[in-house]
Amino acid sequence: MFQSERFWGGLRGVINVLLVIYMLAPLVVTLVISFSSALYLTFPPPGFSLQWYEKMFNNPTWTRTLWTSVKIMIPAAIIATVFGTAAALALSRIKSKWAIAIRGILMAPLIIPVIITAAAIFGVFRIWGLYGTLFGLIIAHVILTLPFVLSTVSANLAVFDRRLEDAAANCGAPPWTAFRRVTLPLISPAVLSGMLFAMVISFDELIVSLFLSTPRVRPVTVQMWSNVRGDTDPTIAAIATVLFLFSLFALLMDGLARRRSGRAPGL
């Protein structure tokens, strides 16, 4: 039995289903609670009500902070991906011992406890006038997400056959063309993974954003944190549900766009 493909395939299928349940469980609970008619968080909810969605949409703060989160997330993810991929490429080619040291430095934001990073960056950003600015938050998020891009792309580069690039060069391709036509397509799963990582991490980031934001420039995570201090009611469940729907929508749009452009829906 253990030698049969079917067995392993079936086992994988079971794991996949269990995984999806595991990942989705909190979200399903959240969804149910968001329609609760009770005034406080309780499960199962006593009845159905749209009051929390009403409360959320009536409060412009939520749409404003959500939009701020998006305004931070997209530029930060793009910059982190570009810088991180470039760094990964360079580091995969450098043979000297410096490569390890530089790699360590670039991965450092991952290892340093986030409260220290937050306090440190807050200190200098204040001096540089970046406190409470969108730009400051974007830079901070690039710093925090770059290590993810770097490590993901590096993993892929480790199995990348350098000779393919050399072959392209031998055929007369200039470096940028060789990269664009040969390397990039082959490492694209990693680059896209990295960018996706950067986006979700930026969206979910709390501590550094807490230090760097003000009520006027504030991502939705900080707003939720600020609210929970006093309001333990299902408003946050409504918000979480909306965020989930928003991300579902984005994913479907992405799938649709790929199909339209004729490219295989790879990632």
Partner 1 sequence: MTDLTKMAGLSRRRFLSTSLYASASLAALGAFSRPAQAAANLAGREMVFASWGGSYQAAQEAAYCIPFMESTGALVIQDGPMSGSKLRTMVEAGEPIWDAVDVTDTFLFANEDLFEDLDFNIVDASALDQAYVHPKGIGAIVWSYNIGYNSDVVGDDVPQNWADVFDVEKYPGKRAFRDRIYPMMEIALMADGVAPEDLYPLDIDRAFRKLDTIKDHVIWYSSNSVSQQLFVDGEVGVGIILNGRAFDVNKKGAPVHVQWNQNIRSIDYLVIPKGAPNAEVAQHFMNATADADNQALMANTLAYAPVNPAAFADVEESVLPWLATSEENQAKGFLIRADYWRDNLAELTERWTEWKLS
Partner 2 sequence: MYLKDRNIWLLAPAVLLIGLCFLYPVSWLLQRSVSEPVWGLQNYITIFSKTIYLGVLWNTVAIAGATTILCALIGFPVAYSMVHSSPWVRKVLIFAVLIPFWTSILVRTFAWLVILQRGGIINDVLIGIGLIAEPFDLVYNRFGVLLGMVQVLLPFMVFPLFSVMARIDGSYFKAATNLGATPIRAFFRVYLPLCLPGLATGAMLVFIIALGYFITPALLGGRGDIMIAQLIFERIDEFGDWPLASALAIVLLVGTGLLFLLINALLKIKGERI
Coil, helix or strand for 136?
helix
Distance from C-alpha of 22 to C-alpha of 67, rounded to nearest angstrom: 29
CA angle 68, 69, 74 (to 5 degrees): 105
Does 176 sit near partner 1 (CB under 8 A)? no
Q: In this structure, which amino acid lies at residue 240?
A: A
Do 125 and 183 touch, CB atoms closer than 8 A? no
Residue selected from 15, 39, 250, 252 as contacting partner 1 according to rule CB under 8 A = 39
Q: Which residues, including other chains, have CB under 8 Å from residue 35's CB and lie 6 or more apart?
A: 45, 48, 49, 50, 52
Q: Which stretch binds partner 1 (CB under 8 A): 22-30, 32-40, 64-72, 151-159?
A: 32-40
Residue whose tokens read 């290590």: 147
Backbone angles phi, psi at 251, to 5 degrees: -65, -40
Both tokens of 152, joined, read 């993901």
Instruction: Give the CA count within 13 Å in the CB-facing half-sphere of 230.
Output: 3
- In whole angstroms, the minimum distance from the beta carbon of 252 to partner 1 comes to 33
User: Which residue lies nearer to partner 1 by CB, 10 or 44?
Assistant: 44
Residue selected from 3, 23, 40, 113 as contacting partner 1 according to rule CB under 8 A = 40
- In whole angstroms, the minimum distance from the beta carbon of 10 to partner 1 comes to 38
Both tokens of 154, joined, read 């590096």
Backbone angles phi, psi at 36, to 5 degrees: -75, 140
Give the DSSP H or E segment for 207. helix 207-212
Distance from C-alpha of 202 to C-alpha of 220, rounded to nearest angstrom: 11
Q: State the binding partner of 1 from partner 2, partner 1, none, CB within 5 to 8 A by kind.
A: none
**Is the preceding peptide bond at 44 cis, omega within 30 degrees of 0?**
yes
Residue selected from 32, 45, 49, 59 as contacting partner 1 according to rule CB under 8 A = 59
- In whole angstroms, the minimum distance from the beta carbon of 222 to partner 1 comes to 8
Does 122 sit near partner 1 (CB under 8 A)? yes
Does 210 sit near partner 1 (CB under 8 A)? yes
Q: Which stretch binds partner 1 (CB under 8 A): 84-92, 114-122, 242-250, 253-261?
A: 114-122
Does 45 sit near partner 1 (CB under 8 A)? no
Q: State the binding partner of 247 from partner 1, partner 2, none, CB within 5 to 8 A by kind.
A: partner 2
User: Which residue lies nearer to partner 1 by CB, 190 or 238?
Assistant: 238
- In whole angstroms, the minimum distance from the beta carbon of 37 to partner 2 comes to 16
Q: State the binding partner of 229 from partner 1, partner 2, none, CB within 5 to 8 A by kind.
A: partner 1
User: Which residue lies nearer to partner 1 by CB, 110 or 207?
Assistant: 207
Q: State the binding partner of 40 from partner 1, partner 2, none, CB within 5 to 8 A by kind.
A: partner 1
Distance from C-alpha of 245 to C-alpha of 249, rounded to nearest angstrom: 6
Interface residues with partner 1 (CB under 8 A)? 38-43, 55, 58-59, 61, 115, 118-119, 122-123, 126-127, 131, 210-211, 214-215, 222, 225-233
